[in-house]
Chain A
Amino acid sequence: MIHRFKLGVGVVLAAPARAFAHSPIEGMNDFYNGVLHPALVPSQLMLLIALGLYLGQRDVAQNQAPIASFLVAAALGLMVTGFTPVVDLQLPVLATTIVVGALVAADWQWGRFGRMALGLLAGLLLGLDSAQASLTGLTRLVALFGCYIGMTLLLIFPMALADRFNQQEWQRIGVRVAGSWLVAAGVMVVAFSFASR
């Protein structure tokens, strides 16, 4: 009986490895594909992390307007993708990441309207950059809704993290260092994009 159990454990351990051999997206429905979309596009993920860290460097109470502007702009951007041709926005997304990452690294907070403008810009770019061109009708709508949820979550998580890591000086330094990493990676890829043209 024990031998059978051990063999069963072995088979169970083997099974996930075979599942990983295929894309994790395969077999997922359109909603979850949409949710994962911003997490699986590195440039989008970087911008969301940068903006989340930036907003989290100040009290959450001061961020209601920037978050609202991000959410409105992202929804608008996603809706617009249904009516416009697909455009590659990786460079503008990375350029915005560099700006926001530099603000995080410098711990330089703009005024309320400046932060709202950043939220608007980031939301619009990410929305427009998330076109689900291969889908149509209801499936597209579901995937776009998933994207919206994914973007929202990926903004909120780093924001909450930065807000939590706002107590001690070393924690604030850690957030600033993360900002500098985002800037560095962004600059490299922008350079690579221009060089490979």
Chain B
Amino acid sequence: MNLLYRLALGSLFLTVAGVAFAHEGAGLAGGFASGFMHPILGWDHVAAMVAVGLWGAFLGRPAIFVLPIVFPMVMAVGGALGVAGVPIPAVETGIAASAVVLGAMVAIAARPSIWVAAVIVGAFAVFHGHAHGTELPQSANALSYSLGFVIATGLLHLLGIGFGLLVRWPMGKVAVQASGGIIALAGVGFLSGAL
């Protein structure tokens, strides 16, 4: 009896979940979810975004907040170009290269001036933005899609910053630099097509 009852209750919950899924993915919410998942589901985006956060944390103030502010603003320009259909050569290569360069910057503990760091990060942001803009689904709400991918990008930066703050401790610094090395290697994998 007990088992039968549990099965009945379980079936009821599963049915309920089915109803909820039946209405997923449309309108504003669908656009936001689609945009939010776009950077997260692309490992090349994830690696580069986390590297931006790591590098920002590594460089300390003011880079820790300048880079995450510069990136989305320049990325939007790239996104606008993508939406407008303005072609940028080698976008995917640029995205993969961003993981290599930014990861390497963290790995070798490079400390350029804030302007140089901002220019490097901004240059790569154009490629990431262009990819997001080009792949904006026609059916999605443009505004909620944009909000989704911008917020996801920012959260990935935050993830990198959070981990990057470990540089305060000697072992943490090693861990952060090692992470940069892994990101750079992954970037090489993206570039070569191995990943």
Contacts and interface: CB of A to CB of B under 8 A. Distances in A.
For the complex of A and B, the 3 pairs showing the least CB-CB separation, nearest first, are A191-B80, A184-B76, A187-B76
A177 B68 contact: yes
A10 interface: yes
A40 B5 CA distance: 42
Contacts of A183: 72-73, 76
Name the residue in A11, A102, A195 with the highest tally of chain B Cβ atoms < 10 Å from its Cβ.
Answer: A195
Contacts, number: 108
Interface of A: 3, 6-7, 10-11, 13-14, 17-18, 20-21, 40, 42-43, 46, 94, 102, 105, 173, 176-177, 179-181, 183-195
A195 B84 contact: yes
B83 A191 contact: yes
A105 B70 CA distance: 9
19 contacts: A7-B5, A7-B9, A11-B12, A17-B20, A21-B20, A42-B144, A94-B143, A105-B73, A177-B69, A180-B68, A183-B72, A183-B73, A184-B73, A184-B75, A184-B79, A185-B150, A187-B79, A191-B83, A191-B84
B36 to A, nearest CB: 12
A185 B153 CA distance: 11
B37 interface: no
Contacts of A185: 76, 143, 146-147, 150
